[in-house]
Chains A and B, each alone.
Chain A
């Protein structure tokens, strides 16, 4: 069936119809669109046209979307044939396969094939489909680089897999992942390279993409997201590997290019038809030439091109209506599409618009235990989008609601639970739904607590959520039943239930508090922001400006050296390593250890101020020099100049160690008792670069006169004749708070160890954006002392953890940027300025 064919119809068409000559319909493209269009035409009028179909592939029409199961070894080619030879014969269709049409003569109304064959037409149908997009990298033409478009490609992949070895799939979209799955099942060691940070980013949001990535990795595939291919490497003319732009090299015996498709428009373009991205057609699938129609992936309809199969069926119906002048010809009005991934064992569905925003409301349900993620998007009372991962049973129902565009306000509250629940009728009020549950219905799956138990516990005096969690453990684990427990509190207590939780939740995206989130991250071993959001049932797809930075910090603190900082979850100052000012420029503060400086540093700062026209330099309260008015584009150059004079980032912008302020101490001062300056410099060298829940300021005063103002710092040292008084929890901000005495030590070494231990305790226990002052007021000074001093090993253990974390943190971020890292954060995309001539034109 793979040999070129030239099927002559068994039944002689005769070219006659009731004495009239039949119109000649020539179809270019023997694929799913072309043949379906012919089927639709035949169904309406079986004798109107004498039909000839040209196909470039040397075989009959098969179901291209089923190539994935063929590659995976789940189907054979003959099982995916749609139109066998008999269909062409029975319908008197001439099939010219293995012979591509290369030219159209619109004036003569003929087409010419590669073989030289010329076929006249009355009406021409273009169904040329699409071509795989080949990324223009060196090595793209090496043997062993294949696309995933037709049966020949599948044969090449199967042949490669038989030899075993490694496969690289470039493209983590629908097609790429299906290719990777097939090759993996055939025993190859598969790596998927995807440019975007989220797999299938057109169909999935970040949360579902993360679940998919985790599942594929669990199946042994290597998934590299945010990976940009630089070159395909070869040896002896055959592919040998792929090199990424970041320098990584992945060995490969076969490379599958599956980055996308482009409408195949070359033939139409050379014939002079209107072509933009695709062949432009009207609602009746007619091109700019009334005798030529087009259908399928090659067309552009109302600005849209489609790469999925469902729109094609709609197009073919509209085309057949028009081609047979059916009375009911309403035309094609565009399609809403849905996607399912054909990878066995992974249930994934996506439809419509789930980009959220602007009046659109997200309803998210997550079930970590079952690996479920469901998100539906409602706008103006209508369902406009859905993403389902793990359970796609309701995909069809959502898609139906979406296409019909009916008002779903009446079932909105129950929508996320699916058809069975939403159609129940009585569940419109969530409290009513809970009231309707039987006493033995399970409320908390984690701890196996029934409704009856929760109600008994509330009647027994547990009048708040925390009391219920403390008594019968309902909602105390994963928290996904928090809403149900709150409903039971409201139902059982009536007006007596305040509804208020004692402690505020981290943000509106979650029902957990900061403390609960921190505890879960550690206990469950969570390692990434999307994973925290999934496991803790976040109600938004990708969080908000409050929770993202908090989660980023909590993970960074919990996993030193392992967690990869998420730049998109950092406030601007921490992303830009400078302080944004009201006019959008930045201020730059180089580090001056303990407030000490020298002529070289001062000259470098002076030179920077002049070179970059900084309008102001100011001495800060923390004994540093602050250079104002630097544009974001100039920051790397400013840093390069400061680095050259030996200065590093002062972290004046971070939730981190800011400054160690010192007085001159015993070296100069007639009252000084210890070397406060020297100790301050040592402490700053120990603590700089550490990320904290909030900014952290230290000071060292050489005597109780306290010129360094150590008693309003987060950590203060007051030197006395007999040693060092260590003070904590001071704050000179909105709410003035003097420090508490933590302890007194005899040596510098002890002072530094307690300092490290105290910082680590604060890093591990405080909530994000909680300074030491409110933290100590919340937990109590005694609790802090107890955590540090009850166990004689505690200080050493905490200090050890701090130093371990610091071993990854003390890396000047300015130097990396000055050397060119993250240049896109500093550079404009481009600049728009009209030519002077155009300007003069408009001036007239």
Chain B
């Protein structure tokens, strides 16, 4: 149902290779979290909580290559598809950031409302 999905506007708002941010607040204005929406160079869209699992770096500001973003603070590589850290180091193994289910329909981007509002689903593989 469309009501489960939150329309966040047309795809053209995010240039390929870039990301933009979506702060989510409570009614009183306090921040629940910030979501980063990525547009990859091969034209896919992904949404993740904008917070590197390492030291909370803003992933939206990293360099995007393939479907991976490199965190601007300490260059951790995070999969845009699963939110998992891709490195082999002991710290990286198992670390992940929540992903927000996203769909593109008729040129607009939709995010799963329940995940946007803070019930973020954990990484697809973290079970």
**B interface footprint on A320-364 (CB within 8 Å = 1, 0 otherwise):** 000000000000000000000000000000000011111000100
Residues of chain B from 11 to 34 with CB closer than 8 A to chain A in the complex: 12-18, 20-29
CA distance A811 to B39 in the complex (A): 29
Chain A residues with Cβ below 8 Å from B66 are 355-357, 362, 540-542, 544
Known contacts A545-B62, A568-B18, A839-B28; A196 and B72 CB within 8 A of each other: no
Residue A828 CB within 8 A of the other chain: yes
Residue B43 CB within 8 A of the other chain: yes
CA distance A196 to B11 in the complex (A): 11
A198 touches B63 (CB 8 A): no
- Partner of B61 from the list A356, A572, A824, A831 (CB cut-off 8 Å) is A572
B6 touches A832 (CB 8 A): yes
Q: Which among A197, A544, A582, A832 has the highest number of chain B CB atoms within 10 Å?
A: A832
Chain B residues with Cβ below 8 Å from A827 are 20
Chain B residues with Cβ below 8 Å from A658 are none
B8 touches A206 (CB 8 A): no
Known contacts A362-B66, A545-B63; A828 and B20 CB within 8 A of each other: yes
CA distance A584 to B72 in the complex (A): 9
Closest to A825 in B: B18
Closest to A573 in B: B72
CA distance A540 to B67 in the complex (A): 12
A568 touches B64 (CB 8 A): yes
Known contacts A824-B15, A830-B9; A357 and B27 CB within 8 A of each other: no
CA distance A691 to B57 in the complex (A): 26
Residue A163 CB within 8 A of the other chain: no
Residues of chain B from 61 to 87 with CB closer than 8 A to chain A in the complex: 61-68, 70, 72-73, 75, 77, 79-82, 84
CA distance A840 to B26 in the complex (A): 11
Nearest CB on A from B8, distance (A): 6
**B interface footprint on A818-841 (CB within 8 Å = 1, 0 otherwise):** 000000110111111111101110
Known contacts A829-B9, A829-B14; A202 and B43 CB within 8 A of each other: yes
Closest to A226 in B: B15
Nearest CB on B from A786, distance (A): 37
A541 touches B42 (CB 8 A): yes
B21 touches A828 (CB 8 A): yes
Nearest CB on B from A337, distance (A): 15
B25 touches A831 (CB 8 A): yes
Nearest CB on A from B50, distance (A): 8
CA distance A262 to B64 in the complex (A): 31
Number of B positions contacting A (CB below 8 A): 52
CA distance A549 to B17 in the complex (A): 13
A197 touches B16 (CB 8 A): yes
**A interface footprint on B32-72 (CB within 8 Å = 1, 0 otherwise):** 00000100111110000000000111100111111110101
CA distance A830 to B108 in the complex (A): 14
Residue A195 CB within 8 A of the other chain: yes
Chain A residues with Cβ below 8 Å from B15 are 197, 226, 824
Known contacts A831-B25, A832-B24; A196 and B16 CB within 8 A of each other: yes
B72 touches A571 (CB 8 A): yes
B81 touches A833 (CB 8 A): no
Number of A positions contacting B (CB below 8 A): 55
Residue A205 CB within 8 A of the other chain: yes
B41 touches A569 (CB 8 A): no
Residue A580 CB within 8 A of the other chain: yes
CA distance A543 to B14 in the complex (A): 20
CA distance A513 to B72 in the complex (A): 24
Chain B residues with Cβ below 8 Å from A576 are 61
CA distance A215 to B82 in the complex (A): 36
CA distance A570 to B18 in the complex (A): 11
Residue B106 CB within 8 A of the other chain: yes
Nearest CB on B from A96, distance (A): 32
Residue B117 CB within 8 A of the other chain: yes
B29 touches A830 (CB 8 A): no
B67 touches A357 (CB 8 A): yes
CA distance A572 to B72 in the complex (A): 6
Chain B residues with Cβ below 8 Å from A195 are 12
Chain A residues with Cβ below 8 Å from B42 are 198, 201, 205-206, 354-356, 541-542
CA distance A228 to B44 in the complex (A): 19
Nearest CB on B from A277, distance (A): 6
Known contacts A356-B67, A548-B65; A832 and B23 CB within 8 A of each other: yes
B16 touches A357 (CB 8 A): no
CA distance A832 to B106 in the complex (A): 22
Known contacts A198-B41, A541-B42, A568-B64; A833 and B106 CB within 8 A of each other: no
Residue B116 CB within 8 A of the other chain: yes
CA distance A195 to B10 in the complex (A): 13
Closest to B58 in A: A584
Nearest CB on A from B95, distance (A): 15
B12 touches A838 (CB 8 A): no
Residue B105 CB within 8 A of the other chain: yes
CA distance A469 to B21 in the complex (A): 49
Chain A residues with Cβ below 8 Å from B67 are 355-358
**B interface footprint on A555-599 (CB within 8 Å = 1, 0 otherwise):** 000000000000111111101100010111000000000000000
CA distance A195 to B25 in the complex (A): 33
CA distance A89 to B40 in the complex (A): 52
A831 touches B63 (CB 8 A): no
Residues of chain A from 159 to 197 with CB closer than 8 A to chain B in the complex: 195-197
Known contacts A357-B80, A584-B58, A834-B117; A829 and B40 CB within 8 A of each other: no
CA distance A489 to B37 in the complex (A): 47
Chain B residues with Cβ below 8 Å from A354 are 42
Chain B residues with Cβ below 8 Å from A228 are 12
CA distance A576 to B61 in the complex (A): 9
Known contacts A828-B23, A833-B27; A355 and B44 CB within 8 A of each other: yes
Closest to B66 in A: A356
CA distance A433 to B2 in the complex (A): 55
- Partner of A831 from the list B14, B17, B22 (CB cut-off 8 Å) is B22
Known contacts A828-B23, A832-B24; A358 and B82 CB within 8 A of each other: yes
Chain B residues with Cβ below 8 Å from A575 are 61
A584 touches B41 (CB 8 A): no
Closest to A362 in B: B66
B22 touches A829 (CB 8 A): yes
CA distance A568 to B68 in the complex (A): 13
**B interface footprint on A125-136 (CB within 8 Å = 1, 0 otherwise):** 000000000000
- Partner of A548 from the list B63, B73, B117 (CB cut-off 8 Å) is B63
A201 touches B21 (CB 8 A): no
B20 touches A829 (CB 8 A): yes
Chain B residues with Cβ below 8 Å from A205 are 41-42
- Partner of A545 from the list B28, B56, B77, B116 (CB cut-off 8 Å) is B77
CA distance A257 to B8 in the complex (A): 26
B8 touches A201 (CB 8 A): no
Closest to A545 in B: B70
Nearest CB on B from A43, distance (A): 36
B65 touches A834 (CB 8 A): no
Q: Which among A198, A549, A584 has the highest number of chain B CB atoms within 10 Å?
A: A584
CA distance A568 to B24 in the complex (A): 26
B43 touches A196 (CB 8 A): yes
Chain B residues with Cβ below 8 Å from A829 are 8-9, 13-14, 20-22, 37
Nearest CB on A from B112, distance (A): 12
Closest to A575 in B: B61
Known contacts A357-B79, A830-B22; A543 and B65 CB within 8 A of each other: yes
A355 touches B63 (CB 8 A): no
**B interface footprint on A242-259 (CB within 8 Å = 1, 0 otherwise):** 000000000000000000
User: Other CB < 8 Å A-B pairs besides A262-B106, A540-B65, 7 of them?
Assistant: A196-B16, A357-B79, A358-B67, A575-B61, A580-B58, A828-B23, A840-B27
Q: Which are the 9 A-B pairs with shortest beta-carbon distances?
A: A357-B67, A839-B27, A568-B17, A545-B70, A358-B81, A572-B72, A584-B58, A572-B61, A829-B20
Binding site for B on A (CB under 8 A): 195-198, 201-202, 205-206, 226, 228, 262, 277, 354-358, 362, 540-545, 548-549, 567-573, 575-576, 580, 582-584, 632, 824-825, 827-836, 838-840
- Sample 9 A-B pairs with CB under 8 A, ordered by A number: A277-B105, A357-B81, A545-B70, A584-B57, A824-B14, A824-B15, A832-B117, A839-B26, A839-B28
